[in-house]
Structure 1
């Protein structure tokens, strides 16, 4: 599986559908970050969001923070809570430990998508842009709940110091 195949996207009947595969790390998160920024900065026809993690084998805190940011965008745009599908027990444990059920409707079963999806490749971010993406992701995790704040505030403080 190449990096381009890790993020698949389609917008069908005003539903934005993300399919994320493999090991999802900050090193391959630029495509997802760029896609989410473009989608919600241009008032697209996206009225509902679905995220399929059934083929995700691992997620780091940056990627989970990107998901938290996606949920925040939905809330700000007054869209319904996004739906997240995941059958991987390890991924689910991480999602629930970071309280993503507060921002997503998590469905622990497979999806049966039957439409074509476009592969989204990684974007060329500068070191500064990548640092800002990681900072935004961790700030989104902190905004989700207080237990995340105690866990990720030192990371945020360090990133802010390094990005000056």
Structure 2
């Protein structure tokens, strides 16, 4: 039985806190993509970014790519590396295998949010917009590490061709 994905968010004292819950798949990634775009399309009020994956039961490459793009935004804004909390061994194995430890401070322990979290609703994307989101996410994975390029370049090339 699949567990419903949920994205929770809070911004307090210049800290942006994301809590991701359940099965994180490209089919439910539009809310996260919208939130990242909104947060970083203007001067950033986040001086620190924290992501809690302790309740994530599954994460696909599109979601990992969205996390990579979030780390890239932080780097571009000259912010500290985002902190990512995860006690899920399968999730951690994926994060390390895709080199997210280069872009995040990964902490394998529980969290307790210091702020009240609000639920982020999914965005309404057309098929074209969803394809563009998947392409951007996988491009962010490729940009993160050369090893990822070998794994995801064929998918990126195929998506880019289909989206023309």
- Structure-1-length-normalised TM-score: 0.97
Task: For residue 114 of structure 1, report the CA deviation from its aligned partner.
Answer: 3.5
Task: For residue 2 of structure 1, report the CA deviation from its aligned partner.
Answer: 4.9
Matched with 1:60 is: 60
Task: For residue 88 of structure 1, report the CA deviation from its aligned partner.
Answer: 0.2
CA distance in 2, matches of 1:105, 1:151: 23
Instruction: Give the SS at the match of 2:101.
Output: helix
Task: For residue 115 of structure 1, report the CA deviation from its aligned partner.
Answer: 2.0
CA distance in 2, matches of 1:114, 1:69: 25
Structure 1, unpaired ranges of 5+: none
Matched with 2:18 is: 18
CA RMSD of the aligned region, Å? Answer: 0.9
Aligned: 1:75 with 2:68: no
8 Å CA contact retained: 2:4, 2:23: no
> 1:116-164: CA deviations, max 9, x gaps?
1000011100111100000000000000111100000000000000000
Matched with 2:31 is: 31
Matched with 2:131 is: 131
Paired residues in the alignment total 162
Matched with 1:111 is: 111
- Structure-2-length-normalised TM-score: 0.97
Matched with 1:90 is: 90
Instruction: Give the SS at the match of 1:27.
Output: helix
CA distance in 1, matches of 2:57, 2:9: 18
Q: After the TM superposition, which parts of structure 1 deviate over 3 Å for at least 4 consecutive aligned residues?
A: none
Instruction: Give the SS at the match of 2:124.
Output: coil
Instruction: Give the SS at the match of 2:110.
Output: coil
CA distance in 2, matches of 1:12, 1:114: 8
Task: For residue 42 of structure 1, report the CA deviation from its aligned partner.
Answer: 1.7
Instruction: Give the SS at the match of 1:8.
Output: strand
Instruction: Give the SS at the match of 1:116.
Output: coil
Task: For residue 112 of structure 1, report the CA deviation from its aligned partner.
Answer: 1.6
CA distance in 2, matches of 1:7, 1:70: 15
Instruction: Give the SS at the match of 1:17.
Output: strand
